[in-house]
């Protein structure tokens, strides 16, 4: 059996040699060679990322290779670029609609992942019509009607949630914690000064070999917060981690008990304790929580007397269910109970987190009113039952926390102002990253309170200063207090949202373009609601009460993307309306675009966390336009010597190229060039903005 690295080396050799003969070789033959290498990789390993790179090459060399294109789409759905699958499925569908019975379903599935719900519904409807026309079809490529109905329901929910985004601020926790590999399952102590999470990063892993998917093994990592900044995460150590897969599940509020997952016995929950700064060896939970079935997530109450966990043991409502257990006098977990139909469904229900109030439960489910994959829901103990057996109707916590993909591993802070979870988002450093969620506090403008009326003065009769014997003072009548009028509470000023009207056009002919467009807070990533009433026209409704910086993102396939920073007024009694036309330029040979939002550490070629949204837009453009070849040009300001600036600009251009190549872009499509300070866009003389403008990265289209 060939070793995985041998397969990857063989594939790499094929990539290198192919560009030498591509001008003369038959593209159909090249497509078959790449396809064979992809199939060999999958048959000998589970390295889907590497197989995807090869299969995508096969599909792009020959769009008529239906098998390669279908497999490229399928592999995209099995990795993180799920919305990219539609391109390859559509090639199959347009050439041979009968290639697979369920091809319309998979096109719809990819559109759903890309949040293009109307297109998804269109193809789900086509597949439903096919099912009705052939009710007796029993092929393996049949997706049952019940599953399609569920997807339709999810798309309808998705349209509702996205049209009313919640004002969550979702910020990448940073490169000190996240890596280019998977980082997930964050847990924190109640002081929020320590975070423990699972990572498949190579650096710091106890096993320098790789698993059979060609990625490092899971290890548990830890970081501390010092002066509001996280330290660089480190491996928690060999007392807890092994040379194989290790994953954390939960942490007690004091941070001294850590729960981890052990895949023995079908999947069990273990725990370890920290004494004098040292972690004990993990042991299985005492009591009857673990079974011969899978127990794969857990949360412990703040008083450490109740545990919530998930299991697929018999007797549940279907798939994984959430259970609770109580600690008895012996310190063992007993009295295990299913949380019942108010929480559990026929689908998988998992990833519980019991909040610090010990009565609010957050969990992830594939059922209920979700928009696809696992969605996070919230429920609270209600009623008079002392055992907490009655729960409120679970509520979807909303978009943009929840997406059509899996959303799990959600935990809250003690004060309820923040939450943490792992997700695949456009500003990610790698695969899944860890994010902090903040619910912004709305600022309400109020009228100044009117001054309170002073009560009228009551004159008290003066005492007689003449001494008179035995004479009684006259009885004074009680003074009647004036009636107090109820104070009027100041009525808040009625604020109306301001509007930002954006028109997207083709720069060459000014025709309107349908775009993938968004407006988010530059610092907090809060999404601004948007409506579109005509082709290429988009209206954003801004309810923030203060002037704020935003980033407008516009993408059209076949055009250079744009990320534009804008400052906009917020809601007010007299709201403003601002118009903006965005001219999109086609990716034609010779066109140059500036990547204005790629930030590097000072005098280095390492990316700041803020650079990744721009890098990932560039990656997406390269993925969508597979014939595109570009030059990445690095530029500096005039400070420093010519030689130093030339080297620095080249290193920065190469850093961008390396990032794209690691994400699966063929290295032959990218040329990295350093221009130093030779091509300034503005003056460098005592002009901070000019120097900043000159420190840039550009991409130039060489071929398309």
Quick check: helix, strand or coil at residue 171? strand
The predicted pLDDT at position 226 comes to: 94
Dihedral angle over CA of 534, 538, 544, 550, nearest 10: 180
Q: Which residues contact 221 (CB under 8 A, 6 or more apart)?
A: 196, 197, 198, 199, 201, 204, 233, 234, 235, 236
For 203, 268, 339, 609, 704, the CA distances from 419, given in Å and listed in that order, are 27, 26, 24, 20, 44
Quick check: helix, strand or coil at residue 286? coil
Q: Which residues contact 199 (CB under 8 A, 6 or more apart)?
A: 179, 181, 182, 183, 184, 218, 219, 220, 221, 233
The shares of helix, strand and coil residues in the chain, as percent rounded to the nearest 5, are 25, 30, 45
CA 638, 639, 645, 650 dihedral sign is negative
The predicted pLDDT at position 25 comes to: 57
Where in the chain are the domains? Answer: 4-163, 169-438, 491-586, 587-704
The predicted pLDDT at position 476 comes to: 57
> Tens digits of per-residue pLDDT, 449-484?
555 555 555 554 444 444 444 445 555 555 666 666
Contact 624, 606 (CB under 8 A): no
Contact 65, 34 (CB under 8 A): no
> DSSP secondary-structure letter at 586?
B
CATH topology of domain 587-704: 60s Ribosomal Protein L30; Chain: A; (3.30.1330)
pTM (2 d.p.): 0.85
Q: Hey, what are 451's tokens?
A: 């001054």
Residue 484 has a CB neighbour count (10 Å cut-off) of: 9
pLDDT along the chain (704 residues), means of 10: 48 47 68 95 91 93 96 94 94 97 98 96 98 95 97 98 94 94 96 97 93 93 95 96 95 96 93 95 95 96 96 96 95 94 96 96 97 96 69 96 94 96 89 90 47 52 44 56 66 83 96 95 93 93 92 93 93 91 94 86 83 90 89 85 89 93 89 86 54 78 92
CATH topology of domain 4-163: 1.25.40
Report, in angstroms and rounded to the nearest whole number, the Rg of the chain calculated over CA atoms.
31
The predicted pLDDT at position 682 comes to: 59
The predicted pLDDT at position 680 comes to: 76
Per DSSP bridges, beta strands 194-199 and 183-188 are: antiparallel
* Residues 363, 370: Cα–Cα separation, whole Å: 12
The predicted pLDDT at position 443 comes to: 44
CATH topology of domain 169-438: Neuraminidase (2.120.10)
Tell which CATH classification among 2.40.30.30, 2.60.40.10, 1.20.210.10, 3.10.20.600 matches the domain 491-586: 2.60.40.10
For 227, half-sphere exposure in the C-beta direction (CA atoms, 13 angstrom radius) is 0
Q: Hey, what are 420's tokens?
A: 């943490």
Query: Which helix (H) or strand (E) is 354 found in, with range?
Result: strand 349-354
């Amino acid at each position: 059996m060939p070793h995985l690295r041998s397969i990857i080396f063989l594939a790499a050799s094929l990539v290198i040699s192919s560009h030498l003969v591509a001008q003369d070789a038959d593209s159909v033959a090249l497509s078959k060679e790449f396809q064979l290498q992809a199939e060999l990789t999958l048959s000998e390993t589970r390295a889907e990322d590497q197989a995807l790179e090869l299969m995508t090459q096969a599909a792009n060399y020959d769009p008529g290779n239906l098998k390669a294109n279908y497999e490229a789409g399928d592999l995209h759905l099995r990795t993180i670029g799920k919305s990219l699958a539609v391109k390859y499925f559509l090639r199959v569908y347009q050439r041979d609609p009968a290639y697979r019975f369920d091809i319309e379903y998979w096109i719809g599935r990819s559109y759903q992942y890309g949040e293009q719900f109307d297109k998804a519904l269109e193809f789900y409807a086509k597949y439903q019509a096919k099912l009705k026309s052939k009710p007796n079809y029993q092929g393996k490529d049949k997706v049952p009607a019940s599953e399609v109905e569920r997807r339709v329901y999810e798309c309808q929910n998705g349209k509702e949630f996205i049209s009313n985004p919640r004002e969550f601020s979702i910020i990448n926790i940073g490169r000190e914690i996240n890596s280019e590999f998977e980082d997930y399952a964050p847990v924190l102590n109640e002081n929020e000064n320590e975070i423990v999470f699972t990572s498949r990063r190579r650096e710091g892993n106890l096993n320098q070999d790789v698993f059979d998917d060609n990625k490092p093994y899971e290890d548990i990592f830890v970081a501390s917060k010092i002066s509001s900044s996280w330290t660089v995460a480190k491996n928690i150590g060999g007392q807890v981690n092994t040379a194989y897969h290790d994953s954390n599940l939960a942490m007690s509020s004091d941070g001294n008990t850590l729960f981890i997952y052990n895949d023995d016995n079908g999947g069990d929950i273990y725990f370890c304790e920290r004494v004098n700064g040292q972690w004990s060896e993990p042991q299985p939970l005492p009591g009857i929580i673990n079974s011969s079935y899978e127990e794969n997530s857990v949360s412990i109450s703040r008083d450490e007397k109740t545990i919530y966990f998930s299991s697929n043991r018999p007797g549940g409502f279907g798939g994984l269910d959430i259970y609770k257990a109580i600690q008895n006098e012996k310190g063992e977990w007993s009295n295990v109970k299913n949380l019942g139909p108010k929480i559990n469904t026929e689908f998988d229900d998992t990833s519980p987190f019991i909040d610090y109030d010990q009565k609010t439960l957050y969990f992830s489910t594939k059922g209920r009113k979700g928009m696809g994959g696992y969605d996070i829901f919230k429920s609270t103990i209600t009623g008079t039952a002392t055992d907490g057996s009655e729960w409120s109707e679970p509520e979807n916590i909303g978009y943009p926390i929840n997406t059509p993909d899996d959303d799990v591993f959600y935990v809250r802070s003690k004060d309820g102002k923040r939450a943490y979870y792992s997700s695949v988002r456009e500003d990610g450093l790698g695969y899944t990253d860890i994010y902090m969620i903040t619910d912004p506090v709305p600022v309400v403008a109020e009228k100044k309170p009117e001054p309170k009326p002073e009560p009228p003065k009551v004159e008290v009769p003066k005492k007689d200063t003449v001494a008179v014997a035995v004479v009684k003072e006259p009885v004074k009548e009680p003074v009647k207090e004036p009636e107090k009028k109820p104070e009027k509470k100041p009525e808040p000023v009625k604020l109306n949202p301001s509007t930002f009207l954006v028109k997207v056009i083709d720069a060459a002919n000014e025709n309107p373009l349908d775009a993938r467009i968004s407006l988010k807070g530059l610092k907090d990533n809060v999404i601004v609601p948007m409506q579109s009433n005509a082709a290429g026209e988009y209206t954003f409704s801004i309810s923030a009460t203060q002037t704020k910086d935003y980033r407008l993102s516009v993408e059209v396939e076949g055009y250079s993307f744009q990320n534009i920073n804008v400052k906009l007024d917020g809601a007010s009694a007299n709201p403003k309306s601002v118009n903006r036309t965005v001219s999109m330029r086609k990716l034609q040979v010779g066109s140059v675009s500036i990547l204005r939002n790629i930030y590097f550490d000072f005098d280095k070629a390492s990316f700041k966390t803020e650079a990744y949204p721009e890098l990932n837009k560039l990656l997406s453009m390269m993925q969508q336009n597979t014939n595109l070849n570009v030059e990445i040009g690095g530029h500096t300001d005039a400070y420093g010597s010519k030689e130093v600036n030339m080297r620095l600009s080249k290193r920065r251009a190469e850093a961008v190229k390396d990032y794209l190549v690691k994400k699966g872009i063929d290295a032959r499509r990218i040329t990295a060039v350093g221009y130093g300070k030779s091509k300034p866009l503005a003056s460098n003389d005592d002009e901070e903005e000019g120097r900043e403008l000159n420190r840039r990265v550009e991409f130039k289209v060489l071929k398309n």
